[in-house]
Homo-oligomer: A and B are copies of this chain.
Amino acid sequence: MKHPTVSQQTRTDAGLAAVLRVAVGRLARRLRAQRPDASLSLGQTAVLFTLARHGQMTPRALADHEKVQPPSMTRIIAALEERELVHRTKHPDDRRQQLVELTEEGIRLVRADRRRREAWLTQRLGELTPDEKATLRKAAEILDRLSQS
């Protein structure tokens, strides 16, 4: 229990889990504070990007995808709709459901966000070696899969 090195801690799956968990928690907190467009929450941004990638989705599908409970997604969508970044249409087959998709402005915002994202994280990434960035590229994809499974 003295001062185990990181490599010692990550030899096992459990140790890796511990380290990863702390690292992800810390970075998430940091990101929450440093977000570029302060008026958009982390969750809202995530939904915008998910919609940009997948097109139309139902609120339920979005909630599942973002690993959030449906009421939370209702709120996120309401906030995005208020700002006209997103709009809802009725599901053609099932009148309980809705389909959410980006508005023109939503698409513009995603694009603009991509362009001008010289924010905190991008800067930090710039300080890394190409090798490290390559590692993160691969890791991002794995992390995404992890939270899906």
Q: Which residues of A contact B (CB under 8 A)?
A: 1-4, 6-7, 10, 13-31, 33, 42-43, 45-46, 49-50, 52-55, 66-68, 107, 110-111, 113-115, 117-119, 121-122, 124-128, 132-133, 135-144, 146-147, 149
Contacts and interface: CB of A to CB of B under 8 A. Distances in A.
Most chain-B Cβ atoms within 10 A of its Cβ — which of A6, A13, A17?
A17
Interface of A is mostly: helix
B49 A13 contact: no
A117 B27 contact: no
Contacts of A113: 18
Given A14-B118, A118-B14, A21 B33 contact: no
A4 B107 CA distance: 14
Given A13-B122, A67-B29, A147-B30, A1 B136 contact: no
Contact of A140 (B10, B50, B54, B110): B10
Contacts of A46: 21-22, 25-26
B122 A132 contact: no
Given A29-B67, A143-B23, A149-B127, A53 B133 contact: no
A118 B16 CA distance: 12
A1 B107 CA distance: 8
Contacts of A115: 14
Contact of A28 (B1, B28, B124): B28
A20 B121 contact: yes
